[in-house]
Amino acid sequence: MANTWWGSHLLSSGADDELWAVSSAPVTRGQLRTSVTDLGERFREQGITEGSSVLLRMKPSFTYLHVLLALWSRGAQVVLVDFRLKPAEYEPLSDLVRPQYLVAATGAGGPVAGFRQESGFSVQRLPNGRPAVDGVRLVQFSSGSTGRPKVIGRPADSVLAEIDRHSAVPGIPGKGERVMLLNSVMHNMGLVSGVLHALAAGATLIVPPTLRPAEVVRMMARTETSAVYGTPVHYDLLSRVDSRPELPALRLAVSGGERVPQETHDRFRTHFGLPISPVYGVTEFGLIAGDLSGASVPPQLGPPVPGAEVKVVDEELFVRMKRSPYLYGGHTDRFADGWLRTYDRVRQDPATGVLTMLGRADSLAVVGGLKVDLAEVETVLLDHPRVTETVVTHGEVIEAFVGTDQELASDELVAWCRERLSPAKNPKRFFVAKRLPRNSMGKLVRDRALMHEHVESELPSQTQGDR
């Protein structure tokens, strides 16, 4: 392994016997360094070198993380593709980026069964691959919640700058603390906020081999976890665990990805004795805002973190970047003159700088000549005691897709909305299902056609016609 690669300092710190991570078994920093070095030599023999482009598609495991670090140590550009994607989702992405190499899981059949200690993989040289885009070391795809993933490339200095932003956040887990990671290591929050920050800070990473809530809580107690990182879905499940051991070391719960429902926030605080602290970022830039003090509650996001320069224009959030993060052209509506347009609508407190999420700029619809914020309609629906999740879309009319684990008639939703919304904002059609589809990052899918396809597959769902 070269001593000069851009992340070498992340691996070199700490004694060999210092605990790096725990899943079904512990891994020391010395074991991590040895594994990365050995894998780097294997990749050298395969011809992977500075400027090679490699698509990485493996099951979540410590081997996956070792492979990623080893590829970076060889100077490769690594394209991360979620193992859970179906061929119809994965193959067009591969065709788009045209990597020179494929590092893929062996024995790939069957579902992903949690986080593994080790996993097998193969290395394949691909025909007609193109080399890395100059300077780019990490390639990811947008969440695709609208059905159109974007190819996002980040140079080494972008990733390192995000790690620095994490270290500057007051209350961030530090050396000697134990950080439980529930987020996928294949995506930005799990990879940078979890894995890379823990490496840089000297914290120990705790990755449950299973996400069954009761077992996760028991592992928190057994490992003396001090901080947990997850998504709203994780916290909703954890807050429903009936019998919980004492967790005296737990001081911090951090959530990102989407807004934490107020009910989940309140129930978790009641059961665990601490709030869910928000962080906010985008794949193109990484961490933008956050508050780990417990002072910010949904829909507040906290203030911009040190190192993130933002501006709010007509309630839209922009963040300063050195270069466009989008590879292979396009998306000129999102980056101009050094500013990334997030399409998130926010309000910023002039005194504290705290950002409050208002919704998406692309969630505005015009109904009868009036502007309707579909996020407002979603907020009203989420206030219903039996609604667990919702997506509101607009085509010819406003439609509401509602997830619930209880009996819920669409007529009840009609009455609920009519009492709380003006006529132009009321959904004309309701579709009720046990759960709504989410993408590989755990975010709700917002593509109208995909939502219709899902609810039709769950028939008999309760469908309410035009009102």
**Residue 42: burial class (beta carbons within 10 Å; 0-12, 13-18, 19+):** middle
Handedness of CA 326, 332, 337, 343 (dihedral sign): negative
- pLDDT tens by residue, 455-466: 887 755 444 445
Percent of the chain past pLDDT 70, that is, above it, reads 94
Mean pLDDT of the region 33-51: 98
Q: Dump strand ranges (E) for 249-396.
A: 252-255, 276-282, 286-290, 300-302, 310-313, 316-320, 335-336, 339-348, 355-360, 364-367, 370-373, 389-394
Rounded Cα distance, 462 and 402, in Å: 10
Is the model's pLDDT at 298 over the cut of 70? yes
H or E element, residue 328: none
* Residue-level pLDDT at 459: 59
Range from 56-60, 143-147, 207-211, 277-281 carrying the lowest mean pLDDT = 143-147
- pLDDT tens by residue, 177-219: 999 999 999 999 999 999 999 999 999 999 999 999 999 999 9
* Residue-level pLDDT at 461: 44
Residues 6+ apart with CB under 8 A from 212: none
Range from 81-95, 102-116, 125-139, 196-210 carrying the lowest mean pLDDT = 102-116
Rounded Cα distance, 52 and 384, in Å: 52
Residue spans of the domains in the chain: they are 8-141, 368-464
CA 132, 198, 208: angle at the middle one, nearest 5?
A: 100
The CATH number of 368-464, from 3.40.50.300, 3.30.230.10, 3.30.300.30, 3.30.365.10, is 3.30.300.30
Rounded Cα distance, 372 and 366, in Å: 6
Residues 6+ apart with CB under 8 A from 265: 235, 275, 276, 297, 298
Residue 110 pLDDT level (bands cut at 50, 70, 90): very low
- Specify the CATH class of 8-141 in words: alpha beta
Identity of residue 115 = F
Mean pLDDT of the region 132-139: 94
Closest alpha carbon to 288 in 379, 158, 446: 158
Rounded Cα distance, 454 and 449, in Å: 9
| CB distance 356 to 298 below 8 Å | no
| CB distance 375 to 366 below 8 Å | no
* Residue-level pLDDT at 360: 81
- pLDDT tens by residue, 398-424: 999 999 989 999 999 999 999 999 888
Rounded Cα distance, 393 and 373, in Å: 10
| CB distance 233 to 258 below 8 Å | no
Question: Helix, strand, coil proportions of the chain in percent (round to 5)?
Answer: 30, 25, 45
* Residue-level pLDDT at 92: 85
